[in-house]
Amino acid sequence: MMLNALELTGRTRTHVVQRDDLRAAVHAKALEAFLEMKADASRAGLDLEITSGFRDFAAQQRIWDMKFRGERPLYDEAGNVRDHAALSGEEVVDAILCWSAVPGASRHHWGSEIDVIDRAAMPEGYRVQLVPAEYEPGGVFQALRCWLDSNLARHGFFRPYGAFRGGVRPEPWHVSYAAVAVPALASFTPELLAEAVESSDMLGKALVLKRLGDIFERYVANVDAPPSGATVKPA
Ligand SMILES: [Zn+2]
């Protein structure tokens, strides 16, 4: 299940299928597995929904550029708001990287990644925030988290951002389809990311390129692998 350079960096949609009923695009293999997992979960009373599936380079760049300009709030590692005007360009890049990927470096480009919520657990009018507290004891998605903990692997998924490893913060909502994502990560390189960033007009491009090796190491390569013994369905 090899993705090419454009697919790995979100600059094409050739590897994903759009599903308007799910309001998401997902890699075909991951979609099949997700639908099986969704049916399984519904028998347990959960209504799995995708809040974010495939996201392309342009969408990631819009998030990045808004944060770079200070049009969206920046947070430090603890989640405290930082004053954009008081930060150097390097510090702005660091603050963005705490919570958002460099365009080209998001796993959501691969189509194998899904942010998942449980519609059935949400009170009327509830607005999803996608913060860890929602998935912790007492949180609206606690039951979803527990269900995923025991059933994810059976459907070929795992959590790449389970534990904090010094890069991306833990994201209990983010699940990854191993049969697509593991080979994708194995074929992704700092050179491929550099080429994608270089050929874009994203803001702070020179600052990112200067530190690209470190960024790749800390935020792309530094993730949890599927647990040994997990079912990895052939794609
Ligand atoms: Zn995600």
Q: For residue range 21-34, what is the model confidence (pLDDT) as tens digits? A: 999 999 999 999 99
Is residue 197 within 8 A of residue 21, CB to CB? The reply is: no
Report the alpha-carbon distance of residue 140 to residue 152 in Å, rounded.
Answer: 19
pLDDT reading at 162 higher than 80: yes
Residue 234 has pLDDT above 70, yes or no: no
Strand ranges, E, within the chain: 16-19, 24-27, 48-52, 74-75, 81-82, 113-118, 157-158, 174-177
CA of 1 from ligand 1 middle (Å) equals 21
Answer whether 43's CB lies under 8 Å from 71's CB: no
pLDDT in tens, 151-161: 999 999 999 99
User: Side chain identity at 232, as an amino acid letter?
Assistant: V
Distance from the CA of 136 to the center of ligand 1, in angstroms?
17
pLDDT, residue 235, reads 47
State the amino acid at position 173 in one-letter form: W
Q: State the distance from the centre of ligand 1 to the C-alpha of 50, rounded, in angstroms.
A: 10
- Band of pLDDT at residue 208, cut at 50, 70 and 90: very high
Q: List, for residues 90-137, the tens digit of each pLDDT value.
A: 999 999 998 899 999 999 999 999 999 999 999 999 999 999 999 999
Q: CA-CA-CA-CA torsion for 37, 43, 47, 52, nearest 10 degrees?
A: 0
Q: Are 20 and 73 in contact (CB under 8 A)?
A: no
CA distance 216 to 39: 36
Between 57-61, 66-70, 163-167, 170-174, the lowest mean confidence (pLDDT) is in: 163-167
Residue 91 CA to ligand 1 center (angstroms) comes to 24
pLDDT, residue 231, reads 54
Per residue in 174-207, pLDDT (tens digit) is 999 999 999 999 999 999 999 999 999 999 999 9
* DSSP conformational letter for 169: P
Distance linking the first and last C-alpha atoms of the chain: 6
**Is the entire prediction scored with pTM above 0.85?**
yes
The arithmetic mean of pLDDT across residues 11-15, rounded, is 97
Q: What's the 159 CA to ligand 1 centre distance in angstroms?
A: 10
CA of 171 to the centre of ligand 1 (A): 7
Distance between CA atoms of residues 178 and 117, nearest Å: 19
d(CA 8, CA 12): 9
